[in-house]
A and B are shown apart, each in its own frame.
Chain A
Amino acid sequence: MRKFGWLGIAALAFAVGGAAQAETVKIGVVLPFSGANADLGHQIDKAFDLYVKLHAKDIAPHKVEIIKRDEGPPTGAQAKTVATELVTNDKVQILTGFVFSPSAIALAPVVTQAKVPMVIANAGTAWITNLSPYIARLSFSMWHHAYPMGAFAFSKVGCKTAALAYTDFPPGKDSTEAFKTGFEKAGGKVTEAIPMGSPVQVPDFTPFFQRIKDAKPDCMYVFIPSGAHATGVAKAYGELGMRKAGVKLIGPMDLIPDNKLQDMGDAAIGTVVMGNYAVDLDNAENKAFNKAWHEAYGKDSYPDFMSAAGWDTMHAIFDTIKKLDGKVGDGQKVIDAMKGWTGKGPRGTVTIDASTRDIVQDEHAMEVIRKTDGKLGVKVLGTTKAVKDECKELKLGRCGS
């Protein structure tokens, strides 16, 4: 007995006296791995895995233990269940992932109560970050793309009139509201706004687009939750011959995710989007990121804007672990450490705004072109540096609360 007591004290002394105690940080990842939107989850998951693989040494001697759960359909219910389990049963110290806004919205009260930081890697409805002081976002707000797109569409793309079509859930309404605000401020006229059903399944877009084609606006601004929906949009737009009929396709970059772009064919050429990432963005970090991605996942697999945000999300989490020396038990300290974080990633330099906990990043207007190697790609038409979430800057609606 006595002997064991001494051993215990010795072990304790060793632990306390060691230069750095090796902590294992538990991170809960909630991403859609099933259903029609599973590829969105995989795009982020691959980026997470890649970052952890390549940068595990950065946080040594600390380690991360990643527990993955299925976010389920874009309704929020399943995400809330699995994330609550992660917090209460698995005792994760940081939650991340979250492709869909309804998931993040449903979970906000839970993370507030549990004081567990929630680092969002995609969900983009602007006011999500206002829902809990424990939320930080590394992806974007809908307003990052849609609001500047309004002015750009009017002055540079030549849209005097535009019809809006959106998937009927919070980010769809948010994105079209943002575009409308920017577009009307610039002098454009919105002819109509058409909800196109739920995000759970990819609808047949034809009846909606046919109506817009018959109404002949200059441009059609479309928001869909990327992925398979984006392929559906390109297909319906191409089939209906809308470009020939004089209706230009514009939107946030969700329309042309890089991992779907090559399948879209000629229908996508000429599409103008506003966004924070494309495989073709010219910066050193992006080149390295793409190289690592192709080495890990093959030459036909492409990262997209969700992957880029996933990469930066893990980067911010790792930097925070390093900064706190692995002691991430206090959620408030973790969130405080993230405020003002800045890093260089595939999207260039990104910062977490200390006051809003939302991202500040460069926005690029991009046009889809056929590149000289025969593949589809984008041409950058213009770049705005360090864009903040305009919804919270202008304190509009729920962004002001």
Chain B
Amino acid sequence: MPQFAIIAVSILFDGLAYAMFLFITSVGLSVTMGLMGFVNLAHGAFAMAGGYIVVTLTRTLGVGFVPSLVIAAVVVGAASVVFERGLYRRLYRSTDLEQVLLTIGLAFMAIATATYLYGPIPKSVPLPDWLQGDVNLGFRNFPSYRAFLIALGVVLIVVLWYAFERTNIGAKIRAAVDNRRMAESVGINVDRLFTLTFAVGSGLAALGGGLAIQLFGLSPSFAVLYLVLFLIVVAVGGLGSLKGTLLAALVLGVFDTAGKYLFSDAGGFFVYAVTVAVLLVKPAGFYGRE
């Protein structure tokens, strides 16, 4: 293979794997923000909680990695309902500032709790043999874990797309994002819809948190460290849009990887450059409503 093709394949593969992580973790944030206009800065904390549940299950209880991911997603998804019903619901009609204060406060509490329970030292997770090392995909070898990440991402995209575009609930969500008052007046219970999407979104964030351990390690600062990235994905994609979140994750993932690969001197500059460029042209993001 010529050199430029090797480079292109390397960048696309790593960028795709990174994009899948971004998509899985951010999609819930995008939909809930689009639905309720609620600024949930504790989203990263839900992702972190998922990560620590995976660490506890695999390290302490000896559960396999993949079952742990599923359990973490379900547990965090269920727990998020308690937060939504108990705390978030009270601030739906409040100003952005009050919502930001509540949720960033939750994020800091989550950081302190994680530090208390697990200590500040980054955790790693034991992987099954089939996720370690590299795998031959016909024309060259790729790291198995990233191949797994891409495969999982594709499956989730298909499932989410089907749920969003082809089911009754999906249609209701889309209707509520488009025009909430209209949706309510035709009898859609937006409150309950929101609880459901919030739970699914938080569960997916937890899944993303679990998947991220192998990529970045997991420490209490995770709750805010990657929050900026999730918010960027949401902003670039457009609030409440599945397609937009996916496109934003792909663009940012591939550009970030390409930047690091080709121009490592510039560091993480490219993500921000792309964000600025996109928002200059489309202030509401790729698929946001202007």
Contacts and interface: CB of A to CB of B under 8 A. Distances in A.
Q: Are A and B genuine complex partners?
A: yes
A34 interface: yes
B124 interface: yes
Contact of A208 (B143, B146, B260): B260
Given A207-B14, A239-B145, A241-B133, A38 B121 contact: yes
Contacts of A198: 267
Interface in B225-259: 225, 257
A388 to B, nearest CB: 32
Contacts of B119: 38
B261 interface: yes
Contacts of B221: 35-36, 201
A165 to B, nearest CB: 8
Contact residues on A (Cβ < 8 Å of other chain), bracket: 20 to 34
B121 A39 contact: yes
A168 B216 CA distance: 17
Contacts of A232: 216-217
Contacts of A208: 260-261, 264
Interface of B: 3, 6-7, 10-11, 14, 18, 115, 119-122, 124, 132-134, 141, 143-146, 214-217, 219, 221, 225, 257, 260-262, 264-265, 267-268
Contact of A263 (B124, B132, B257): B124
12 contacts: A35-B221, A206-B14, A206-B146, A207-B11, A207-B260, A207-B261, A211-B264, A228-B219, A232-B216, A232-B217, A235-B214, A241-B143
Nearest to A203: B216
B219 A239 contact: no
A42 B10 CA distance: 38
Contacts of B120: 33-36, 38
A10 interface: no
Contacts of A196: 264
B143 A206 contact: yes
Nearest to A32: B120
Contacts of B144: 239
B133 A231 contact: no
A90 interface: no
A232 to B, nearest CB: 6
Given A204-B215, A207-B14, A231 B267 contact: no
Nearest to A236: B143
Nearest to B144: A239
Nearest to B3: A214
Contact of B124 (A210, A211, A231, A238): A231
A196 B11 CA distance: 16
Given A206-B146, A207-B260, A263-B124, A201 B225 contact: yes
Nearest to B9: A214
A194 interface: yes
Given A36-B219, A228-B217, A263-B124, 10 more contacts: A33-B120, A36-B122, A36-B217, A168-B267, A194-B264, A197-B267, A202-B216, A207-B264, A239-B146, A241-B141
B124 to A, nearest CB: 6
A210 B217 contact: no
Interface string A212-244: 001000000000000010011001001111000
A364 to B, nearest CB: 27
Contacts of B225: 201
A195 B14 contact: no
Given A206-B146, A239-B133, A211 B261 contact: yes
Nearest to B122: A228
Contacts of A39: 121
A121 B264 CA distance: 31
Contacts of B14: 206-207, 210
Nearest to A38: B120
A197 B122 contact: no
Contact of A35 (B11, B18, B219, B261): B219
A207 B257 contact: yes
Interface string A86-120: 00000000000000000000000000000000000
Contacts of A214: 3, 6-7, 10
Interface in A187-201: 194-198, 201
Contacts of A228: 121-122, 217, 219
B10 A210 contact: yes
A204 B132 contact: no
A159 B267 CA distance: 28
Contacts of A239: 132-134, 143-146
Contacts of A211: 7, 10, 261-262, 264
Contacts of B124: 231, 235, 263
Interface in A324-357: none
Contacts of B18: 204
A231 to B, nearest CB: 6
Nearest to B119: A38
Nearest to B131: A239
A201 B216 contact: yes
